[in-house]
Every structure is written in C-alpha cells, then in structure tokens.
Structure 1
Amino acid sequence: MTQTPYRLAVMKTGGARVVVVEHAGRMLPLGDVLAGTDLAGTLSDLGPVIAQWDRYGPAIDTAVATGIVAQSAETISADGVQLAMPFASPPNLICIGANYHDHVAEMPIPMVPTQPYAFLKPTRNTLRGTGDAVTAPRHVTMFDFEAELAVVIGRACKDVTEADALAYVAGYCNFNDLSARDWIASRPPIGIDWFLHKGHDGFAPMGPYFLPARFVADPQDLPVRLSVNGVVKQDSTTAQMIYGVAAIIAHLSRTATLLPGDIIATGTPAGVGHGRHPPEYLKPGDEICMEIGALGRLVTPIV
C-alpha cells in the first residue's frame, strides 16, 4: 500500500463546497463518480457519505477501479485546489490525552495511563479546514499545537473487541488538537478544566483529505510531522502510541455506542511547545503545517 488509490475531500469552488474524489492527482465530484445513486447530486460535506459508508465505500471503490476518475474529461488537477473542512458536524469528537510514550516522557505527567484517557471536544465552534485562520485567544499565553491521527468511525459499534475494532473504521484524517496550556497546572479537586484547555474557537483544524481505512496497511506505522514557520517541531510515528487505534475503539465502545461519523483524535507525539525547554508557544503570524502519511498537508495560520 505504497500508493493511495483515492482520497475524499471537500473542494471550495465559486463560493460553494463540493465533495470530490482525488485519484492520482486528479479530482472529480463525488456526485459524478456515483452517478445513478442517491448521492448523484452535489454534496458539500462528507457526513452523509460516512453515515452509510458500508454502502458508499464499496461503490466508490468500484467506480475508481473502473477508471471513471482517470478517464473523465471533467476532472481537474488537485494542485492548487482550495480544500475545506471535510466534516461540518460530526456526531462526536473524542480526544485521547497522554497517549504517546515520547510525549509522556517530555511532559510533567507523573505516570503512564493505565487505560486510554479520553475527553470530549466541542465541534460547533472549533472545527476548521486547511488554510483557515485561527485567532489566538487574547487571554491565552500558552497556546500550543498537537499533531494527531484522527480516526473516523464508519459503522455503529458497541462493546467491540480489540481484535475486531479496526473493521469499524471508515478512514483517517489529520487533526491538530490546539490547546491552551494556561490551566494545565491548575488541578482543583474536580480536575483540569478541559473546556478552557481545548474548547476555544478554531481549536480543531482537520483535513484536508479523508483516506479510507482500506488503504492504510497499519495505523500504527504512520509518520507524524508538524512544523511551525517551516521549522520541524514534531517528527515521530504512530508506533509510539501507548494505546493503538484498535485498543482505543474497544475501550470507548465499552462506555458508549460509537456512531458513523464519530471522530476520535488519538493523541500527540513529543515536540509540543509546552514540552520544550524553554517552552515555545504559538503567536499571531505563525503558520502550522502538519502531515501524517498520505493524509495531505493541514495548514493553519495563526492571526
């Protein structure tokens, strides 16, 4: 699996947003790829596709395999296309903290978690696409970045085993879990205020591409890299995860039924600003760029 047969994305064009299939550097609207189905019209969000991924995923596979993207005269080059947030309103955004061995080692975390440590992140105000600017909150002085692999659930699952868990994954995306570290050292009896820490406007850049899981041989063997202003800050691999994707899904599904379109951010590796000596925090004028495998480049300007 050294090449990507196809990826899905949302393209900005003429003030509209259109779901497209990218294959070998060319793009075609998904409605054209699935002509004759109930998704043949113009889609502006990947949510309806993932909601019935067991149905539409194989249909896209077949269409791409027959050469519809490669042979269509209507395709456009993926170079220079402006891409938008792939998911407008996912059912849930669940984040896993302290989940990389190298990250735990660099941070003042007194122990290795004995199970995946999860929290919810709001979606209405936080989600952003590649190229979308994020405003640095005026009252935050410890503004940080976290490159993460996001897992998109494709089938409802409850109480799944770790051995079966990956069968419920639709695919993967880049995710930047932006964080305000100002309150991380404050531990009142009820714990850290995760809303203050993670819930600011724009604190969830994601995308640009959705890569179907069938094209990822092993989610625990993906390179993770993030740079700020062209300087590499995080350069690791998903092999550093304490709890892998399958273990996380199995754990979460014991508490709640995971639904198609649910997004799980799986934690970040070493190199975050808060873990550096001296610490390095984001400021207006910075530009973050992150990449995981074949998921594309997620660019986030800070203003």
Structure 2
Amino acid sequence: MATLVQPAGPFALGTFSAQDDEDPFPGLLAGGRVLDLSKALDWTPSGVRAVVERWEQALPVLHSLAADTALDWRPLEALRVHAPLEPRQIFQSGANYRQHVIDLEVAHRSPDDPRTLEEARAEIAAVMDRRAAEDLPYVFIGLPSTVAGPYDDVVLPEWAEQPDWELELAAVIAKPAYRVPIEEALEYVAGYTIANDLTDRATVFRRDMKAIGTDWLRCKNAPGFTPLGPWLVPAGSIADPQDLRVTLKLNGDTMQDESTKDMLFGVARLVSYISRTSRLLPGDLVLTGSPAGNGMHWGRLLRDGDVMEGSITGLGVQRTRCVAERAS
C-alpha cells in the first residue's frame, strides 16, 4: 500500500493491483484516486507501455479522464503499486554526474597512490571537464528483468560484497527514436520516473583481466536491482528535467541530495547520443546517471534491514527495504 506524495501536474500513470493475486492493471492517478485504464480507454491497453505506444493520441484523452469525477475511481490506499511499466530496453548513462565520479574515483584509489587527496580530486575533475568539452557520453545496457516495484523488498545477493545505491532520474521514451538531433530529442520523451540503479561495487571491475574493464552484467543486473517508480509523470508536467532534486535517505539519513544540474550530459543529449547507434522504442528507459553520495563515498554499504527512501522533485517517493539472500 502506497503513501501518496502528489506528483507534479494533473495526473500520472502507474501499474496497480487490488491484491497480490489480481492481475495488475494500468492506472491513471489523479488526486489520490486511480482509474483503471484497461476499462476507461477505447483500445483496452494491457499495460502502461501500451498507453505510451500511443502517447500522442492518448495524452489529450488522459487529461480529459483526469478531470472527470464521475468515472469509476478507486482509492489509492486500497491498491498495491507496482513498477509503472515494463521496458523492452534499458539504457544507462555511466559517470554522468561530475561530483559523483570524483568521489568514486577517490574512494577507489590505490593505497599506494602517491597523490594527495587534493591532487587526486583536481586530476579527476580535469578529466570530467575534458569529457564534457569533448561531448562524449558513456552509455551501457541493463536488463528489464532487474526492474522491481517502488515498495518491494530488494534482495541483496549472497555473492554481492559491496551493494550500493544509485538513485537516478529515468526518462521514458514515447515513440521510436533513431538518429534524433539533440534539438528534437525531448519530443521523444513521454515522461519521467525514479530508478534506483543498485550496484555491487566489488564486481564492477574484472579482477581476472583488468583489460576487459567493467562487468556491468555482474554488478548491476541481479533480479530486483532496479526499483522503479512509483509513477510515470508526463514530461509536460516537469518544467525542466535539468533542474530537479535527487534525494536518497538511508534509514532516515540523507545520503544523496543533488540537483540534476550536475549532469555532464542532459536528457536530450543522452537520448540523441543513444539514438545514433540504437533504435529507442516506446516505453524504453534512459537512466541518466547517479549524483554524488553513494555508499562508497560514505564508507557505508547496504546490508540486511536497511530502508532506502528515494525521491525526485515532482516524481513522488519510492521506499524499499533490503533483505539479505539466505545461503542455500
């Protein structure tokens, strides 16, 4: 059962069920009430992704439905909230927040690094500034099977030695996008949601062969490692995706609290860059990177019983509890 933090704008989309054994349905959230879109729309969408696939057609209808109080609305508090949609593809931006990368690089420094802390930070800052000047985003692929609900428990795998949090702004694609210029890229974004891109820091880099580099499959793609939602908030309700506050609290203590202004590459640039190589599809997620304040920075990683509360301006709040996987 969800505690409502009203998202920006007149409505948001989500996926709901009345109880665990009921099939989830796509819903319209407005004023603390939910309308079953599988019954309210003419084309009987099977899920939120099906609504997004007809985004331009659906948007004015959704506005009309949100204002109609005579429809069969259900109270949010009586419903279970699932991840807002099931993406086909997840594109993830790495090293996209300047301060975050500086903090991580310092935390991963070798004990015999001859540089002072100030020298190391200055050197890494220069690298980040050069990346921004050269206009080279870094994007990798995630698995849809990592997606979990915004209030589900997060299982920490037995093998994960250093599980960490990474709260991120996620853009949801509205229509097929291929070789899209940056000036038009935001026209391909249906809306935004919250993603927590959990990462096992111990397996980010291959120990057996450093030349291989990063092992994103191992460190980021365990089941449930991407709590998503609670809502898909239409892009028109977010004035500026580059001016939002990303906040994560661990057991009530604020760990991440940063503006999306600190991104090296904004949403439009990332969508355009990805579309140079890949065809983005309706409902796909573009995760935009994590701001500073991860567990490696604090020297405090996730463990059994931890509760993470993640929020982004206008997008609501997700709350997940960590549960250690028991040895078989």
TM-score calculated relative to the size of structure 1: 0.90
Q: 1:31 aligns with which of 17, 38, 49?
A: 38
CA distance in 2, matches of 1:178, 1:222: 21
Alignment of 1:31-110 (within 5 A): 31-34=38-41, 37-39=42-44, 43=46, 45-64=47-66, 67-68=67-68, 70-72=69-71, 74-79=72-77, 81-88=79-86, 90-108=87-105, 110=124
What SS is found at the alignment partner of 1:252? helix
**Aligned 8 A contact 1:165 1:249 in 2:** yes
Q: 2:151 aligns with which of 115, 131, 135?
A: 131
CA offsets, 1:189-228, max 9 Å, x none? 1211111111112111101101011111111011111111
**Amino acid in structure 2 at the alignment position of 1:20:** G
CA distance in 2, matches of 1:264, 1:10: 19
User: Could you tell which deviates more after superposition, 189-198 or 103-112?
Assistant: 103-112
**Aligned 8 A contact 1:33 1:60 in 2:** no
Measured at CA, do residues 155 and 27 of structure 1 come closer, stay the same or move farther in structure 2, by a change above 3 Å?
A: same
CA offsets, 1:45-73, max 9 Å, x none? 21111122122222212333xx21x343x
CA distance in 1, matches of 2:219, 2:238: 32
Number of corresponding residues? 289
**Counterpart in the other structure of 1:118:** 139
Alignment of 1:262-301 (within 5 A): 262-276=284-298, 279-301=299-321
**What CA RMSD, in Å, does the superposition of the two structures yield over aligned residues?**
1.8
**Amino acid in structure 1 at the alignment position of 2:281:** L
Q: Is 2:201 the partner of 1:181? A: yes
**Amino acid in structure 2 at the alignment position of 1:51:** E
Q: Is 2:15 the partner of 1:10? A: yes
**Aligned 8 A contact 1:95 1:266 in 2:** yes
CA offsets, 1:148-176, max 9 Å, x none? 00111001111111111100001111000
Give the C-alpha shift of residue 185 in structure 1.
Answer: 4.8
**Aligned 8 A contact 1:283 1:302 in 2:** yes
CA distance in 2, matches of 1:29, 1:140: 39
Where does structure 1 lack aligned partners over 5 or more consecutive residues?
Answer: none
CA distance in 1, matches of 2:28, 2:247: 25
CA offsets, 1:255-284, max 9 Å, x none? 1121111111000100000122xx110001
Q: Is 2:242 the partner of 1:244? A: no
TM-score calculated relative to the size of structure 2: 0.83
Give the C-alpha shift of residue 32 in structure 1.
Answer: 4.4
Identity between Structure 1 and Structure 2 (%): 33
Q: 1:152 aligns with which of 172, 186, 189?
A: 172
CA offsets, 1:81-135, max 9 Å, x none? 42011223x11001001111221221107432441111111112x1100221121
User: Could you tell which deviates more after superposition, 45-54 or 279-288?
Assistant: 45-54
CA distance in 1, matches of 2:159, 2:176: 40
CA distance in 1, matches of 2:314, 2:80: 18
CA distance in 2, matches of 1:18, 1:260: 18
**Counterpart in the other structure of 2:252:** 230
CA distance in 2, matches of 1:165, 1:148: 19
CA distance in 1, matches of 2:79, 2:99: 35
